[in-house]
Structures are given as structure tokens and as C-alpha cells.
Structure 1
Amino acid sequence: MGQMETQERQAWMGLLAKAPEGRVAELLGARDGFGFEWLRKPEVGSVMIRGRMGGSGSAFNMGEMTVTRCALKLEGGVVGHGYVQGRNKTDSEAAALVDALMQTDQADAVRAKVLQPLEVAQTEMRAARARKAAATKVDFFTLARGED
């Protein structure tokens, strides 16, 4: 897998991981039509979240977050992985199916059906958050105090 493909996969995996609960499964629709075998059935665990002060300081352990992960292999041999926030095994399975399908000739259809709606929703959510933050913005200014 080249660097471009790796970056694309990272983008869709991030989008799937951050999707609202149930949304990926809803967009994907019925999963019975996809033949696959489990490499790792959905399991719940936790990961350590790391942070940096000011975005550039030394890394530190901020806390743990619950995640659900799984891995599956489509009948054609393509492997898909699903990692989602929280304790939702159905979402993890749907994310793994999307990951696997994005590596097949069905990628364009899956992109249009699942990934593009998620991107639009994420963009709208960011814009709404930015508008809300802008509404509370306070501009401070300094008046000349006459001590010149």
C-alpha cells in the first residue's frame, strides 16, 4: 500500500471511528449480503489517550477511552478493521465492513453511500461548533491610559 492509499485509509478510518453511534450501520444498510469470516470478533477494551500541552510540549497520559474493535475478512480475501469509540459491537462490525469494502471495486459506491454523508455531517458539526464559539467570543482592547 502506497503512502497515498495509506493516507486515504487513515482518513476513512478516522471518519468511521468518530461517527455518531449507529450511523455507519444505518448508512451501510443490511449487512447480510456481505460474506465474511471473523479474524477477531468485536471486543471491548480501552486505549490510553495521550496529550501535549500547547500542542507542542512533552507528551503525557491524559486518561483512558473505551473502544470496540474487530477484524474480518471478506470472501475475496480483503481484510477490514473496525475501531469505534464506546461499547458498540454493531458499529465496530459496520466500520470493519466499510474498511474492507473500500479496498474492493465497490469503493466508489461505499464512498457515496457511507463516507460522503459522514463527511458532510462532520463538516456541519464543526461549523456549528465554530459558530457557537464565535458567539461567545469577547474582544479585549486597551484604551490609552494617559501615562504617555
Structure 2
Amino acid sequence: MPHSPSIIPCLRYPDPEAALRFLKDAFGFVEKMVARGEDGGIIHAELTHGEGERRGMLMVSGTGRQFFDMRLPSEAGGVTDCIYVIVADPDAHCAKARAAGAEILEGPLDREYGSREYVARDIGGYLWDFGTYDPWKT
């Protein structure tokens, strides 16, 4: 892999099987690795998005094991952050996400800083911002 991201978000979901299906169908993630426990349930999964220098990773787990004070958005009473993902065509990406059941909160729309973006909420309550803005090119 020509590029290895140094920051990898880790998200927990009450139903990691459903989360993996959703993230792949709605947002275009690709399953890289899934580790299962003795009961067959997901204990850790790695998903990738993009290619080459645009390739990022997301780690997913279930809620069976407490990890410090991490809370689901529903447990925390709201979302405290958002994950931004660079995509070439936010309009097409949004249409696919909407068709797969993502809650579209905003857009697609043009931002004053030159990006075309949309914001969605996934089945775990997390916020995702998909757009053309590339901070590495500014």
C-alpha cells in the first residue's frame, strides 16, 4: 500500500454485523478483515475506503466489551464528532447512501471553501461528511 493512514477512527455499534453491511452498502467501504469471537460475533473489523493515496481505514467493534469510557451516540445523548471522507462525486455517493437507508441531513451542496459535500447519519447515530475538499492539496 503506497499510503498508510496514521489516524484510524474506531467506532462501536450495538449490531456490528448490521453496521458492516450498512457501511459497505451505503458508504462504499470494503471489508479488509473481520475477527470473530467463539460465538461467531464480530469482535473487531477493519474496513477500507478509497484507493492508493486516497485509501483510509475504519475499525468497527461491537459493544460487548467496554473500551474505557467510549459511548454510543445514543448513550452519550448525541454525537460529539464527525468523520470526513473525500469522495470524487458526492452527488452519486449520496444517492447510493440514501438508497441504502442512510439518513441524509444536509446536501449535497456547495460550500463556500469550494467543496461539494453532504452530511449523513449512519445506523449507529454517527455523523459522516462526504465531500470533494482535500486538505492535503491546499
**What's the TM-score bracket when you normalise by the shorter of the two chains?**
under 0.3
More strand per residue: 1 or 2? 2
Structure 1 or 2, whichever has the larger Rg, is 1
Name the TM-score, length of structure 1 as normaliser. Answer: 0.25
Name the TM-score, length of structure 2 as normaliser. Answer: 0.26
More helix per residue: 1 or 2? 1
